[in-house]
Chain A
Amino acid sequence: MDRPAAETAPADNQSEADLVRKARWGDRDAFEQLYRLHARAIHALALRLTGNRAAAEDITQDAFMKLLQFLGGIRNDTPLRPWLKRVTANLAIDRMRRERPQLTEPWDEQRPDTDAGPALHAETSDLLRRLPPLVRTVVWLHEMEGWSHPELARRFGRSQSWSKSILARGLTRLRADLQGHDPEGEPQHADDAAADDDES
C-alpha cells in the first residue's frame, strides 16, 4: 500500500479493498489487519447484545470466520463493518434463541447478566444489562444499529407490533432507570407517549 498518509476516507476504503483482495487469496497478514480494523467494534456489539464476555468472544470469532468463508462473494469496495455487524447481530440472535427458546414473554427473565466484565461504562451499561436479553437486543439494534421494525419482526419471526412494544417498554425502563441515576435528568414523558402511540 503506497498511498500517501494525507488521504482520507477514499484511501481508507482503498486500503480495506486491498486487504480484502489479499485476504481472499489467503494472505494471513491481510486478514489479521482486517481483524485489527474491525474486531473491537464487532466485539462491542456482541457484548451489548449478549451481556456476556465469553459469548461475545465466541460470536466475534464466528463473525470473522464467516468473513473468511464469504470473502469470495464480497466486492472489494464493500465496506466490511456493516456486513460484519449484521452477521454479528444475527449470530447473537441465533444464540439467544438457542439458549432461550421461549421468546414470548421476554420480561419474565428479569435477572441481569452478571458477566459483562469491568470494562463497561458503569452507569449506562449496568442499566442496559438489567434489561432482559431479548429486550436489550431489540433496543440496541433499533436505537444504535438502525434496524427497522420490519427487519426486527422478520428476524425474530414476530409482528411489527411486537417489536414496537418491546422497544417502547425497553426504552421506558431505561429512561426511568437513567433518571433514577442522574439527578439532573428530566422525565421523558413526551417520548413515552409517542411510544404508546406506536403500539396502537
Chain B
Amino acid sequence: MPMTPPLTTMNPDPLRQHLQALPEPELSETLWPRLDGARQRRLDRQRRGAGALAIVLVALAVVPLLQIDLAAPNSAAANSTAAVVAVPRPEPTDIVAAGSDIADADIAARLRALDRDLQAAYREGSSDAEIAQLWQARRALLAGNGHASVANPIRI
C-alpha cells in the first residue's frame, strides 16, 4: 500500500522524523521456534485430515463392491458343517427341481414324501438321529436311482 502524505502537515515534520527514526527492536530468539512449531502442527493437522478423508473415500468406493447379503437369515444355518442336519427346510418343489432329470415319477413322489417328512422333523424339533435317518433314506433313494451326484441336498 503506497504511503500517503499525512493531512496534518505538508512540511518536514520533526515529529514524523522522530517516529521514523525509531529503531526496529530485536526479535526474541524464541519467536521462530514458536512459529515453526505452529507451522508443523498445522501441517500435521492437514495430513491427518487428508488421511481421514482418504479412508472415507476408499470405504465409500469399496463397500458397494462387497455385495454383502445382509437379508438371508437362513444362510448361516445352511453354512453349518453338519450338512446332513443343517439344511434349512427344503421346499419339495426345489428338491424336485434339483433332481429334474429323474424320470421315475415314483421316485419323485417318494422324494417329495421324504422332503415333507424332513420339513416336519425340523419344524417339530426332532432329534438329530431322526433327521439323519431321513437324510440317509433320501440319499439312498437317489443313489438307488443312479443319481449319486444329487445325494447331497441342495442349498436353498
Within 8 A of B (CB), among A108-165: 117, 119-121, 123-125, 128, 140, 142-149, 164
Instruction: Write the nearest CB–CB distance from A63 to chain B, whole angstroms.
Output: 10
Contact indicator A57/B7 (Cβ below 8 Å): no
Contact indicator B1/A146 (Cβ below 8 Å): yes
| Stretch among B12-20, B85-93, B134-142 lining the A interface | B12-20
Instruction: Write the nearest CB–CB distance from B154 to chain A, whole angstroms.
Output: 62
Instruction: Write the nearest CB–CB distance from A176 to chain B, whole angstroms.
Output: 10
Contact indicator B6/A142 (Cβ below 8 Å): yes
Contact indicator B38/A61 (Cβ below 8 Å): yes
A44-B24 contact in complex given A39-B31, A65-B35, A82-B1, C-beta closer than 8 Å: yes
Contact indicator A65/B38 (Cβ below 8 Å): yes
A178-B24 contact in complex given A61-B31, A198-B7, C-beta closer than 8 Å: no
Contact indicator B39/A68 (Cβ below 8 Å): yes
Prevailing SS type, chain A contact patch: helix
- A-side contacts of B23, CB under 8 Å: 119-121
Interface size range on B against A: 20 to 34
Contact indicator A43/B27 (Cβ below 8 Å): yes
* CA distance in complex: A123, B14 (Å): 13
Contact of A65 among B8, B25, B42 (CB under 8 A): B42
Instruction: Write the nearest CB–CB distance from B21 to chain A, whole angstroms.
Output: 7
A124-B27 contact in complex given A32-B32, A168-B8, A178-B14, C-beta closer than 8 Å: no
With an 8 A cutoff between CB atoms, is A22 at the interface?
Answer: no
Q: Interface residue count for A (Cβ, 8 Å)?
A: 54
With an 8 A cutoff between CB atoms, is B71 at the interface?
Answer: no
* CA distance in complex: A43, B31 (Å): 10
Contact of A120 among B15, B22, B39, B43 (CB under 8 A): B22
Instruction: Write the nearest CB–CB distance from A68 to chain B, whole angstroms.
Output: 6
- B-side contacts of A123, CB under 8 Å: 18
Instruction: Write the nearest CB–CB distance from B35 to chain A, whole angstroms.
Output: 5
The 9 closest A-B CB pairs, nearest first, are A119-B25, A146-B3, A44-B24, A124-B18, A191-B9, A146-B4, A121-B22, A195-B8, A40-B24
* CA distance in complex: A35, B22 (Å): 21
Contact indicator A198/B8 (Cβ below 8 Å): yes
With an 8 A cutoff between CB atoms, is B34 at the interface?
Answer: yes
* CA distance in complex: A188, B15 (Å): 10
With an 8 A cutoff between CB atoms, is A21 at the interface?
Answer: no
Within 8 A of A (CB), among B86-111: none
- B-side contacts of A149, CB under 8 Å: 7
* CA distance in complex: A47, B112 (Å): 97
With an 8 A cutoff between CB atoms, is A174 at the interface?
Answer: yes
Instruction: Write the nearest CB–CB distance from B25 to chain A, whole angstroms.
Output: 4
Contact indicator A31/B9 (Cβ below 8 Å): no
Contact of B25 among A44, A148, A167 (CB under 8 A): A44
A121-B15 contact in complex given A39-B27, A86-B1, A168-B8, C-beta closer than 8 Å: no
- Of all chain B residues, the one with the shortest Cβ separation from A56 is B25
